[in-house]
Amino acid sequence: MALNIFKYSSPASFYPLAGKMVPVFYGLAAVFTIVGLYISFFVAPTDATQGEAYRIIFIHVPAAWMSMFIYIVMAIWAGLGLVLNTRLSSMMAQALAPTGAMFTFVALITGAFWGKPTWGTWWEWDARMTSELILLFLYIGYMSLTAAIDDVRRADKAGAILAMVGGINVPIIYFSVKWWNTLHQGASVSLTSSPSMAKTMLLGMLIMAIAAWMYSIAVALSRVRLLMLEREKSSAWVQEILEQKS
């Protein structure tokens, strides 16, 4: 096992392995999405307090989970890259960032779509929405910083520092916004606090979250393959792949 990890942590052997994994994860993502959507629309009952509008949570909540999970995973990969100086982990971090930003954006937009019929406004300055917005800023900052640095080694390391500093800050920001919010007015309804939440609702949310996981893995893997090709373009294994293709 240890030998395997060692072997696959080199881009040359990880590239073809990732290539085989990508379609599998796309397929799984499609299957889980179909099942999840079926449960969301045809199994889960109407919510007693929120009516049909609650069906937005089947994408909102998984997207919000993903936005946070991906940030944590990204910060861990980036940190590993900084400490252990492994090329692949830094590339994984950079491959995850755009997908994380996408889910953060989706969580914000769907939150607004849920807020309008429920709160009566598109936006509320509650702790979750605000932290989600700041998370989007952090993702954009990370991507801009790594894109602005030409030297890849510096880009990896500087990105890692930013990702980790941001990671420490997210909970601080969350709690400070929460505290600030309770002092001002206090958000009334929360998306998931409905007491009448049926088991099927939870099941739908979980299955959609699994679908989002599968999708993220597939996209991140195919993006990390591009990064590998780009960065190692003069190495023997990339040349070999290019020969085969043409």
Q: Which residues bind another protein (CB under 8 A)?
A: 41-46, 51-53, 55-56, 59-60, 63, 98-99, 102, 105-106, 109-110, 113-114, 116-117, 134, 137-138, 140-141, 144-145, 148-151, 153-154, 157-158, 161-162, 165-166, 169, 172-173, 176-177, 179-180, 183, 215, 219, 222-223, 226, 229-230, 233-234, 238-239, 242-243, 245-246
Query: Please, what is the minimum distance in Å from the beta carbon of residue 6 to another protein?
Result: 18
Token pair belonging to 163: 């990702």
Give me the least distance between CB of 193 and another protein, in Å please.
19
> Least distance to another protein from the beta carbon of 137, Å?
4
SS3 readout for 48-97? CCCEHHHHHHHHHHHHHHHHHHHHHHHHHHHHHHHHHCCHHHHHHHHHHH
Shortest separation between residue 41's beta carbon and another protein, angstroms: 7
In the complex, the smallest distance separating the C-beta of residue 8 from another protein, rounded to whole angstroms, is: 22
Give the angle 10-166-177 at the CA atoms, nearest 5°: 150
The residue (of 144 and 190) whose beta carbon lies closer to another protein is 144
Closest to another protein by CB, 68 vs 238, is 238
Give CA–CA dist 111/104, Å, rounded.
10
Nearest to 88 by CA among 156, 139, 26: 156
Token duo for residue 219: 């996209």
Give yes or no for a contact between 237 and 15, defined as CB atoms under 8 angstroms apart: yes
End-to-end CA distance of the chain: 35
The two structure tokens encoding residue 183: 């002092």
Q: How many residues does the chain have?
A: 246
From the CB of 1, what's the least distance to another protein, in Å?
Answer: 28
DSSP 41: I
- Nearer CB in complex with another protein: 73/140: 140
Q: State the nearest-atom distance from the C-beta of 202 to another protein, in Å.
A: 15
Q: Between residues 52 and 190, which has the closer beta carbon with respect to another protein?
A: 52
8 Å CB contact between 21 and 221: yes
Q: Which amino acid is at 44?
A: A
Kindly tell me which of 45 and 195 has the beta carbon lying closer to another protein. 45
- Between 1 and 232, whose beta carbon lies closer to another protein? 232
Task: Measure the CA–CA gap between 117 and 122, rounded to whole angstroms.
Answer: 8
Q: Which is nearer to another protein, 2 or 67 (CB)?
A: 67
